[in-house]
Amino acid sequence: MTLPPTPTPTSTPITSGPFPIPGPPDGVITTIPCDTGIIYDLGAPTSNGALVYYEVPQVPILFLDWVIISVSSSSSGPWNNIFFWGDFNPFNNGLIPSRYYTDPAGPFPGEADNEPIDAVDLFGTPPFQSGIRIPVSSSFAPYQYVLISAPSGCGDPAEVDTIESYPSVP
């Protein structure tokens, strides 16, 4: 069951500087300290139904940081959360298989900071097989900006290689 998306305003401080350029992964990593974020400008408004978030390529295992990914039609928001690894809500984890966020030993979900995710469950081509596929609700279209942020209380900075937009989930 997928819960309907809800717009989420954010007060996350945004790292200053030029917008990073989205595109294919290249292994150049940007670190995002806890309680801050960076914005990717997709270049034009889009109604594409999917994003792929690439983290640090470490084939055969990715260590997924706590991270929030949101979209907006404006670089100043409001932001609509489409992915949140670290809030213990299994309904906003993109297409990460449930075994990574369900604790089989008890009633509480996983979503640990630096959660090991097998590359076979990720999108991309080695050595850049570190993409997490994220559906984007049509209710958030059109959007042009993608905010990637590290939540308060994260154990270490979030790391991002890049973000790509697709017409549908690849």
Q: Report pTM.
A: 0.87
By three-state DSSP, how is residue 35 classified?
coil
Q: Tens place of pLDDT for every residue, the chain, 170 residues? A: 344 444 444 556 666 556 677 989 999 899 999 999 999 999 999 999 999 999 998 879 899 999 999 999 999 999 999 999 998 888 899 999 988 876 555 444 578 888 889 999 999 998 999 999 999 999 999 999 999 999 988 889 999 999 999 999 99
Decide: residue 21, CB within 10 A, 0-12 exposed, 13-18 middle, 19+ buried: exposed
Domains of the chain: 30-166 (2.60.120)
Q: Are 83 and 92 in contact (CB under 8 A)?
A: yes
CA–CA dist 144, 110 (Å, integer):
31
Q: In 75-130, at which residue ranges do the beta strands (DSSP E only) sit?
A: 80-85, 115-118
CA–CA dist 83, 70 (Å, integer):
7
